[in-house]
Each structure stands twice: as structure tokens, then as C-alpha cells.
Amino acid sequence: MNSPRQQKAVLFMQYSSLFGSGYAVSMAGPLIPYLRAELGFSLAQSGYFISSIAVGSLFAIAVLLGLIHRVSRKRLIGFGNLAMVLSLVLSMFFNSFAMLLALGFLRGIGNGCTQLGVQTVESEKTNIGRGRSMGRLHMTFSVGAISAPAVAGLIGFFPETWRLIFLIGAIPVLFGSFALRNIPDGIMPIPTRRAGSRGGVLRTPIVYVMALLGFLFVSLEAMLYGWVPSYWEELNVGIVAPAALALILAVTLALGRLLSSFFADRVGVGRYLIVISVIVLLASGIWSLVPIPGLIVLIIAVIGVAAAGIFPMNMAIAAHRFPEAAGFITNFILIFASLGGMVLPSVFGELAETYGTILLPYTITGIALVLLLATFTVGRTALRIDPTTTHER
């Protein structure tokens, strides 16, 4: 990755692959109305479908945790992209819950491999502008996430073509694969046995708080992406369509990541992390106490803008804190993040069968409260980072 042309090609690969990954992760929620209407999915089955991607991601990342120093970046991202493309294309041709669940699992495996490979490539770069570069990378993921509800909303005018949602998601992943030849076919560096080694990392308590933060953020994001459309449909207020609300959420998440890429390094990554977590808790608390439909739309937008910066800032702090073990720490956090996307959405689906999706704002508020405690701990460690080492020049 020495020449400027190679560097641009690698950036194109990173952005295209994460764009496709964002689409693949966020498509489950907008698909639920179609799956329930056309294939008869129950709320519980919908919850398992939403969680299937997270289960696959968890499986892939857990397997790679012990092999991270032996795996080629190029092969890891290539395999991940291939798995996502195959699962998306094959999903067009099956109606059974079991097959779509299995293909969601395969899509999750691909997502886990691609995200780990792309973020490891990024985390091994210079520390200069770390918060900004991570913010931009995750903003691209959000732009992909915007596309899924946008496509679902457009297809709502032609509901018989709803399976095209799968096919369209495969296109950016294919584009991301074209630049793979520009990534060196070397292996990820083996962490040293000093402070950056696995043992040294795992003996540091803050690592587990960072992992918890990853779990909580992805739980929050998965609950919003997966259940806001169904929640809004149950309210039946008609202000905006469920797919439109999902699009608003995705747009504000992208906007929030864009803002984090500009402001986090300027005000301090740790300070920024704490402030946005406070905003998420306040907004979700108001949602629980005053569930007025018009206000809900505004609250979801505020949560999207504020919450969007939490995960990239967490990853930026982790990579800065443990530079010799960038691949390992990225993998470790992503394992817990995948658990977050798996556990709560499926549990919520079971609860929604009995109590309805009206529980959503209270669940979000509970997550936001614990999330603030975790971000306060991680943010305080980041306050000790010299801003001049993370600001682009």
C-alpha cells in the first residue's frame, strides 16, 4: 500500500465493502413487513431473523479470534464479501423461515469477516487523525444502512418485487471486491508479548468495558433498526410510513457519524463520547415518558445523530490504547458487539408476542442508561490522550 494509487484503491475497497455491510445489516428491519405479509412470519420469527446476521458475525469473529495473526487481510475480506453476495442472491429464491434464517447466518459470517478485515486495515494505519478516519469509515457503513430502508420504501410502490431488496444489496459488495488485488497478501501482524500482547490486553480491565460498550451500542442499533418499523406500524398513526421512519433513523445515523468525523478530534474523543451518550439517554427517556407520535419522530432522529459516534469513537480509543494488538482488540470488541445484535432483538421479539412492540422505548432507555456508564469509563481514559496525536495535520 505504498503508491498513492494503491492507497486510493484500498480506500475504495474499504468504503464499498462497508457500504454493502451496512446495507446487509440494516435490511432486516425494513424486510419484516414484507416477510410477515408475504411469508407469514410471526413476531418471534421476525426477531430470530433480525438476530441471524449477528449470530453469523459472532461465529465468524469468535473463530478468527485465535487465528487473527494467521489470516491474510485480502483473503479475509474476499471471503466475507463472497459470503455476503451469495447469501443475498440466494435469499431471492427461498420462502421458508429455516432457509432464510440460514442465509441470514451466512450473511452474518460474511459481515463479520469483512468488517474485521476492513477495520483492521484501518486500525493499523497512523494514529494521526484516528478519530476522524474511524468516523468517516463508519459513516460509510451508515450510508449503506440508509440505502436498505430507502430501497424498501421505493419497492413499497411495487410490493411484488420486494425480493429485489436482496439483489440490490449484493452490488456494492461486488464493487468492493474489485480493489482487493491492491491489498498486500501478507498476514495481519502477530502482536508482541509485551503490553500489546493478548495476555497484556486481556489483563487490562478497560478492555472489558470497551467490549461492553460495543455490546450495548450494537444492541441499541439493532433494536432501532430491527424494531422501529414494527413499533411504528403498531402505533398506526400514519404521520410517516414505517419504511420512511427507518430511513430517517438511517440518515441521522449517517449524519451523526459525519459529525463525529469532524468534531471528535477537535473537542477530544473522550469528551465527545460522554456528551453524545448523555444525549441518547435524555432523548430515550423523553420517548418513554412522552410517547407522542410527532415527538417520537424527532426523538428517533436525535438518538440517531447522537448515538452514531459511539462505536467508532470506542474503536478509535481502543486502537490508540493498544496499537501493537490492533487486530486482536478489534476482533475482541466485535465479538461482544455481535452478541449485542443477537441477544436483545431476539429476546424482544419473544416479549413482543405477548406485550407488543410498545415496550421498545423502555428497552431503549434501559440500554442507554448502562451505555452511559460504560462510555463514561471509556471516555475518562481517552481524556488522557493528547489530542495532538489524533488530529489530522
Domain residue limits, the chain: 4-180+189-385
Q: CA 124 to CA 135: how far, in whole Å?
A: 15
pTM (whole model) above 0.85 = no
Beta-carbon contacts of residue 337 (< 8 Å; ≥ 6 apart): 214, 215, 217, 218, 311
Q: What pLDDT score was predicted for residue 383?
A: 60
**79 to 23, 60, 75, 263: CA distances (angstroms):** 18, 11, 6, 35
Please count the residues of the chain. Answer: 393
Cell of 321: 490504547
**257 to 157, 188, 248: CA distances (angstroms):** 30, 27, 14
Cβ contact 345:194 at 8 Å: no
Residues of the chain with pLDDT > 90, as a percent, come to: 22
134: confidence class by pLDDT, cuts 50, 70, 90: low
Residues of the chain with pLDDT > 70, as a percent, come to: 85
Over the stretch 13-66, which tens digit does the pLDDT of each residue have? 888 888 888 888 888 877 888 888 888 888 888 888 888 888 898 888 888 776
Q: What pLDDT score was predicted for residue 51?
A: 83
17: three-class secondary structure by DSSP: helix
Indicate if the alpha-carbon torsion angle 255, 256, 260, 266 is positive or negative: positive
Residues 165-176: what's their mean pLDDT?
87
Residues 167-179: what's their mean pLDDT?
84
**What end-to-end distance do the CA atoms of the chain give, in Å?**
21
Give me the CATH topology for the region 4-180+189-385.
Growth Hormone; Chain: A; (1.20.1250)
**180 to 16, 160, 203: CA distances (angstroms):** 11, 36, 35
Q: CA 356 to CA 335: how far, in whole Å?
A: 30
**326 to 86, 156, 182, 220, 311: CA distances (angstroms):** 29, 43, 21, 25, 16
Cβ contact 344:223 at 8 Å: yes
Residues 331-340: what's their mean pLDDT?
82
